[in-house]
């Protein structure tokens, strides 16, 4: 009689909890992996620099430009206000300052936000240029000259460089000087 009661109360497998619990574990893993793949593809930021190998080879040239800036006593103070940047360039006595400067604004993780700005010298000696709005966060600024009679944006033609870092929007004044390294 006891055997008959046991057979009556046995439910089909799909109405029991254990099979569904065991099936849910791999199902959760599949859903989590698909979700991770979707997030990774939707928010891909790309490489910070597509040409990192060539940039690595150019380190010696960058060090030479920093050393040259140190030799002629270069430093700069830049201010960002209302979509414009104004930079004052300071040098040792007798150093001729260029008519144009090239400012590179670099976001540490999103290369799509980087900007290159041409700064023109005004009558008062300051350099002025227009800047697209910058997001809040840490930014790196690189100010360089260009030798005469060289095509614009030719990295080989630049003879000196000064660097600075600012956390925007808290800091609107950036001091640029020859750094000790290219970090």
Does residue 74 share a domain with residue 145?
A: yes
Does residue 160 share a domain with residue 70?
A: yes
Indicate whether 47 belongs to any domain: no
Reported as a pLDDT band with limits 50, 70 and 90, residue 2 is: low
State how far the Cα of 68 lies from the Cα of 123, in Å rounded to an integer. Answer: 26
Domain extent, residue 15, equals: 2-42
Indicate whether 172 belongs to any domain: yes
pTM of the model: 0.63
pLDDT digits (tens, 9 = 90+) for 9-63: 788 888 888 999 999 999 999 999 999 999 888 876 666 666 777 777 777 777 8
Which residues have a Cβ under 8 Å from the Cβ of 141 and sit 6 or more positions away? 78, 103, 104, 105, 106, 163, 164, 165, 166, 174, 176
More confident of the two residues 168 and 57: 168
| Residue 169: cis peptide before it, omega within 30 degrees of 0 | yes
Does residue 83 share a domain with residue 7?
A: no
Q: In the prediction, which pLDDT does 82 show?
A: 84
Domains of the chain: total: 2
Indicate whether 181 belongs to any domain: no
pLDDT digits (tens, 9 = 90+) for 115-125: 999 999 999 98
Reported as a pLDDT band with limits 50, 70 and 90, residue 180 is: low
Q: In the prediction, which pLDDT does 61 show?
A: 78
Q: Mean per-residue pLDDT for 89-101?
A: 89
pLDDT digits (tens, 9 = 90+) for 115-158: 999 999 999 989 999 999 888 889 999 999 875 445 555 555 57
Give how far Cα 8 sits from Cα of 13, 18, 124, Å: 14, 20, 99
Q: In the prediction, which pLDDT does 35 show?
A: 95
Reported as a pLDDT band with limits 50, 70 and 90, residue 111 is: confident
Does residue 58 share a domain with residue 101?
A: yes
Does residue 98 share a domain with residue 37?
A: no
Does residue 72 share a domain with residue 130?
A: yes
Does residue 58 share a domain with residue 38?
A: no
């Amino acid at each position: 009689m006891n055997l008959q009661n046991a057979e009556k109360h046995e439910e089909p497998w799909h109405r029991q909890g254990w099979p569904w619990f065991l099936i849910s574990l791999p199902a959760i893993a599949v859903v989590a992996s698909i979700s991770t793949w979707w997030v990774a593809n939707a928010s891909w930021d790309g490489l910070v620099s597509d040409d990192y190998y060539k940039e690595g080879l150019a380190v010696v040239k960058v060090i030479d430009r920093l050393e040259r800036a140190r030799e002629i006593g270069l430093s700069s103070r830049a201010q960002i206000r209302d979509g414009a940047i104004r930079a004052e360039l300071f040098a040792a006595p007798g150093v001729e300052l260029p008519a144009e400067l090239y400012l590179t604004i670099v976001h540490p993780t999103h290369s799509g936000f980087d900007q290159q700005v041409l700064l023109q010298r005004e009558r008062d000696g300051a350099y002025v240029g227009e800047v697209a709005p910058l997001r809040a966060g840490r930014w790196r600024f690189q100010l360089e000259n260009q030798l005469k009679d060289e095509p614009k944006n030719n990295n080989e033609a630049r003879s000196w460089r000064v660097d600075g870092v600012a956390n925007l929007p808290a800091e609107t004044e950036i001091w640029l000087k020859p750094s000790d390294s290219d970090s």
